[in-house]
């Protein structure tokens, strides 16, 4: 399928252009972070210049890590797309399941291994007094890289997706019609958003959770010997969990081959579900074995090894339980998705949207309760002997739950990456126009000994995409849950710093302290602004993309859209992704500084608030979007009703869900972690300035006002400068102009 390979190369080239543009943009954003690092470590902490340079270098290493694994993910997935499309020609389901999963596992193993290697290098080769700041610099860098790639990628991909999808309604054309200039942009977006984003996000999540635990151990554990034991235990566990994921993949692969290799029909979700559960159970078993071997006696207590194992296992099991709960609301076989389809029959797009909102809200309740139950179990075991070893043992337990969430990190990334490959495989198949190539069936039979069945191939690709949609949805709450639980540990580290190890000012960590309460209220406001700003960027960008496509699409006399028009749509997507990201990042940056400078305990309340509000907002939006997406898939694949009013209604619902699930919800994860990590520096900078003489407090409050005004400027820009009416479209040749020229 040479045409498919050529399309993959074209998509990869457009992805490269996008990534290079994003890389330059991230370096500009790094300049803002570098100023704060230099001020805090160089000026106020009076570190020697060499140490400050090393910290800055490790922040760049963090950015390079997020950026590098994102690039690797795009390279792997763009080729997996065309290979999956070609494999569908056999008419058997198993090959088109194997290729996306294998690609996802290679990405997952790569990014987790690189992350672990970098952290081990810091721990083993950087001098002890440098290691702590280097970990913080590294974590801030990877958080910045992940946030930029997640937010901008999410905006890009949904501009392209909506622009492409709406043409199905406007012109009554088929899915991924080669004449639609938006399809190539949609394919690029699937990789730029749904491949780059999770890769960078997974890399950063794994690192930030580790940094949070390391910071807690160094600040909260009293005995140096116990500190060393716990650090060694955590790193050994990380290595073994990578091995557990790889082993589980091969075990599941053997089972799947035995069950499905020669079958004409298979449930694509079944082997993915078994992979998640096998990995979870193997990881739990390994946790107990490694804990017994590495910490048989911790602080003189011979029972702590199994108690800590149980705490981590709460997180590991959550990595399997949460996907099962997500499927209740997003799977093509779920009652909630069936309700969305049923409501669309008579109620059209209106009831479709309302039913999707219902699914999202119910999912937030059940997933929230499940996380609370698992954290409560962890809390219970943390009270059984950990208190003599450390301050606030339950907080350490919550950090271990987040660590357990990531115990099956490679598999979580693999099932998340499965979706964009299955989605793009359909697009590559349609764009290749393989069915119109003269004597192609005979050529494929001669070269590959395959009896081609085009109708069967398209059906399998669409059916597999439904499974991809479901498992993309299952990974999102796992990552956001990890962010929130891990942020709890990092917030506690900030508390420890502000209260000198919980020995002073502890009364300020209370609802009786007014600034703390005000911080709790403020965090929710920022989460809702972020949701609106990210969706506004998608709305305006999609409007411009639709405007261009409608003016330039040619349906008569051509087989496919011109490369020039396709690149123009990509350019529109990139333009609005950059504009949206710039406003969002600088708002988050200046808001973090402003609230840290207002009052330290106001800032603690703010961090707690964005974590809690962000958790529920992200779960709600991700699963509502997943329900809308798979309702459309049910109409297309199971009901075979493309081009009907029912299909139109579900397409509208899907376009509403696109920025819900793939822009706002997924970007809340890195935003929460970046704010918490950067906030660690910001609040210490604020406290240091406040202690610089009698005018210190006044200076911090003046700076807080300045930073707040800067943040409100970018909040204002995120709507008023991103409105459809505020940005004039670039002049473009219309379809009439082109026809006249021809």
Find, among 360, 342, 350, 336, the residue nearest to 660 by Cα.
Answer: 360
Q: What is the mean pLDDT of residues 714-736?
A: 74
Q: How confident is the model at residue 215 (pLDDT cuts 50, 70, 90)?
A: confident
pLDDT at 594: 97
pLDDT tens digit string along 37-62? 998 888 888 888 888 999 899 999 99
pLDDT at 731: 53
Q: How confident is the model at residue 739 (pLDDT cuts 50, 70, 90)?
A: very low
| DSSP type of residue 729 | P
pLDDT at 130: 79
689-705 per-residue burial string, b: 16 or more CB within 10 A, e: under 16: bbeeeeeeeeebeebbe
Q: What is the mean pLDDT of residues 380-391?
A: 92
pLDDT at 725: 79
Is residue 151 within 8 Å of residue 541, measured between CB atoms? no
Q: How confident is the model at residue 314 (pLDDT cuts 50, 70, 90)?
A: very high
- C-alpha–C-alpha distance, residues 513 and 401, integer Å: 30
What does the longest C-alpha to C-alpha distance in the chain come to? 87
Find, among 384, 369, 379, 378, the residue nearest to 405 by Cα.
Answer: 378
Q: What is the mean pLDDT of residues 670-674?
A: 89
Number of residues written out for the chain: 742
The answer for residues whose C-beta is within 8 angstroms of residue 65's C-beta and 6 or more apart is: 114, 115, 118, 138, 141, 142, 145, 203, 207
Q: How confident is the model at residue 173 (pLDDT cuts 50, 70, 90)?
A: confident
pLDDT at 741: 41
For residue 301, list its beta bridge partners.
Answer: 298
Q: What is the mean pLDDT of residues 117-129?
A: 85
User: Mapping DSSP to helix (H, G, I), strand (E, B) and coil, where does residue 298 land?
Assistant: strand
CA distance readout (Å), 553 to 164, 557, 738: 11, 11, 10
Q: How confident is the model at residue 727 (pLDDT cuts 50, 70, 90)?
A: low
pLDDT tens digit string along 397-421? 998 998 898 888 899 899 988 988 9
pLDDT of 730 higher than 70: no
Find, among 231, 118, 205, 141, the residue nearest to 413 by Cα.
Answer: 205
Is residue 680 within 8 Å of residue 542, measured between CB atoms? no
Q: What is the mean pLDDT of residues 461-490?
A: 86
pLDDT at 169: 83
Q: What is the mean pLDDT of residues 457-473?
A: 89
pLDDT at 92: 92
Is residue 194 within 8 Å of residue 81, measured between CB atoms? no
Mean pLDDT of the chain: 89
pLDDT of 520 higher than 90: yes
Is residue 206 within 8 Å of residue 478, measured between CB atoms? no
Q: How confident is the model at residue 436 (pLDDT cuts 50, 70, 90)?
A: confident
Q: How confident is the model at residue 183 (pLDDT cuts 50, 70, 90)?
A: confident
Q: How confident is the model at residue 742 (pLDDT cuts 50, 70, 90)?
A: very low
pLDDT at 481: 84
**Quick one: CA dihedral 170, 173, 176, 177, positive or negative?**
negative
pLDDT of 646 higher than 80: yes
For residue 298, list its beta bridge partners.
Answer: 301
pLDDT of 1 higher than 80: no
The answer for residues whose C-beta is within 8 angstroms of residue 594's C-beta and 6 or more apart is: 704, 705, 707, 708, 710, 711
Neighbours of 388 (CB within 10 A): 12
pLDDT of 186 higher than 70: yes
Q: How confident is the model at residue 286 (pLDDT cuts 50, 70, 90)?
A: very high
Q: What is the mean pLDDT of residues 629-647?
A: 92
- C-alpha–C-alpha distance, residues 100 and 415, integer Å: 9
The answer for residues whose C-beta is within 8 angstroms of residue 13's C-beta and 6 or more apart is: none
Annotate 593-650 with three-state secondary structure: HHHHHHCHHHHHHHHHHHHHHHHHHHHHHHHHHHHHHHHHHHHHHHCCCCCCHHHHHH
Neighbours of 243 (CB within 10 A): 12
pLDDT of 738 higher than 90: no
User: Which of 97-111, 373-387, 560-574, 726-740 has the least mean pLDDT?
Assistant: 726-740
pLDDT of 197 higher than 80: no
Q: 541 or 164: which carries more pLDDT confidence?
A: 541
For residue 221, list its beta bridge partners.
Answer: 390
- C-alpha–C-alpha distance, residues 542 and 175, integer Å: 18
Q: What is the mean pLDDT of residues 518-530?
A: 96
Is residue 649 within 8 Å of residue 168, measured between CB atoms? no
User: Which of 266-280, 297-311, 451-465, 617-631 has the least mean pLDDT?
Assistant: 451-465
Q: How confident is the model at residue 661 (pLDDT cuts 50, 70, 90)?
A: very high
């Amino acid at each position: 399928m040479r045409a498919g390979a050529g399309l993959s190369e074209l998509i990869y080239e457009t992805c490269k252009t996008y990534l290079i543009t994003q890389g330059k943009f991230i370096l500009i954003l790094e300049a803002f972070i570098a100023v704060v690092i230099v001020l805090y470590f160089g000026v106020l902490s009076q570190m020697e210049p060499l140490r400050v340079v090393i910290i800055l270098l490790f922040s760049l290493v963090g950015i390079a890590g997020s950026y590098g694994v994102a690039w690797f993910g795009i390279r792997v997935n763009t080729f997996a797309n065309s290979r999956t499309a070609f494999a569908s020609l056999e008419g058997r389901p198993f090959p088109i399941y194997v290729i996306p999963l294998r690609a996802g596992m290679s990405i997952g193993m790569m990014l987790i291994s690189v992350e672990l290697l970098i952290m081990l290098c810091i721990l083993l080769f950087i001098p002890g007094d440098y290691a702590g700041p280097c970990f913080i610099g590294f974590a801030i860098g990877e958080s910045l890289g992940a946030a930029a790639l997640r937010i901008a990628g999410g905006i890009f991909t949904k501009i392209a997706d909506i622009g492409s999808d709406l043409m199905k309604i406007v012109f009554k054309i088929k899915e991924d019609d080669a004449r639609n200039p938006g399809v190539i942009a949609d394919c690029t977006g699937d990789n730029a958003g749904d491949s780059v984003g999770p890769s960078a996000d997974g890399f950063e999540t794994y690192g930030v959770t580790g940094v949070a635990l390391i910071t807690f151990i160094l600040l909260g554990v009293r005995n140096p010997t116990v500190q060393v034991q716990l650090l060694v235990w955590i790193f050994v566990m990380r290595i073994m969990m990578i091995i557990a994921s790889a082993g589980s993949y091969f075990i599941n692969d053997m089972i799947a081959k035995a069950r499905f290799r020669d079958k004409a029909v298979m449930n694509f979700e079944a082997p993915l579900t078994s992979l998640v559960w096998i990995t979870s159970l193997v990881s739990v078993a390994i946790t107990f074995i490694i804990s017994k071997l590495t910490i048989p006696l911790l602080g003189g207590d011979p029972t702590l090894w199994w108690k800590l194992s149980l705490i981590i296992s709460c997180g590991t099991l959550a990595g399997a339980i949460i996907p099962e709960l997500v499927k209740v609301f997003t799977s093509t076989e779920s009652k909630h998705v069936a309700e969305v389809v049923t409501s669309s029959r008579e109620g059209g797009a209106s009831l479709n949207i309302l039913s999707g909102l219902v699914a999202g809200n119910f999912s937030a309740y059940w997933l929230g309760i499940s996380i609370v139950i698992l954290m409560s179990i962890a809390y219970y075991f943390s009270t059984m002997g950990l208190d003599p070893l450390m301050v606030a043992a339950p907080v350490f337990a919550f950090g271990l739950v987040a660590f357990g969430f990531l115990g099956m990190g490679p598999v979580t990334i693999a099932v998340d990456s499965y979706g964009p490959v299955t989605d793009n495989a359909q697009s590559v198949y349609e764009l290749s126009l393989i069915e119109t190539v003269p004597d192609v069936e005979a050529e494929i039979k001669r070269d590959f000994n395959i009896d081609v069945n085009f109708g069967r191939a398209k059906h399998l690709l669409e059916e597999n995409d439904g499974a991809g949609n479901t498992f993309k949805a299952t990974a999102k709450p796992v990552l956001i849950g990890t962010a929130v639980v891990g942020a709890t540990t990092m917030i506690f580290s900030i508390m420890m710093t502000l209260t000198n190890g919980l020995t002073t000012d502890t009364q300020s960590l209370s609802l009786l302290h007014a600034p703390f309460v005000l911080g709790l209220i403020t965090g929710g406001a920022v989460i809702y602004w972020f949701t609106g700003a990210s969706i506004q960027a998608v709305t305006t960008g999609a409007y411009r993309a639709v405007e261009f496509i409608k003016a330039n699409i040619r349906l008569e006399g051509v087989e496919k859209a011109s490369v020039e028009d396709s690149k123009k749509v990509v350019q529109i997507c990139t333009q609005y992704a950059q504009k949206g990201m710039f406003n969002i990042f600088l708002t988050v940056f200046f808001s973090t500084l402003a609230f840290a400078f207002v009052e330290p305990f106001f800032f603690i309340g703010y961090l707690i608030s964005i974590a809690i509000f962000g958790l529920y907002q992200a779960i709600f939006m991700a699963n509502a979007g997943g329900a809308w997406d798979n309702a459309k898939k049910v109409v297309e694949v199971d009901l075979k009703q493309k081009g009907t009013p029912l299909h139109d209604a579900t397409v509208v619902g899907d376009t509403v869900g696109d920025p819900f699930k793939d822009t706002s919800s997924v970007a809340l994860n890195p935003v929460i972690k970046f704010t918490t990590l950067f906030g660690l520096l910001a609040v210490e900078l604020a406290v240091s300035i406040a202690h610089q003489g009698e005018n210190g407090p006044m200076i911090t409050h003046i700076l807080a006002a300045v930073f707040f005004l800067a943040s409100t400027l970018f909040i204002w820009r995120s709507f008023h400068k991103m409105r459809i009416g505020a940005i004039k479209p670039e002049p473009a040749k219309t379809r009439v102009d082109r026809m006249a020229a021809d």
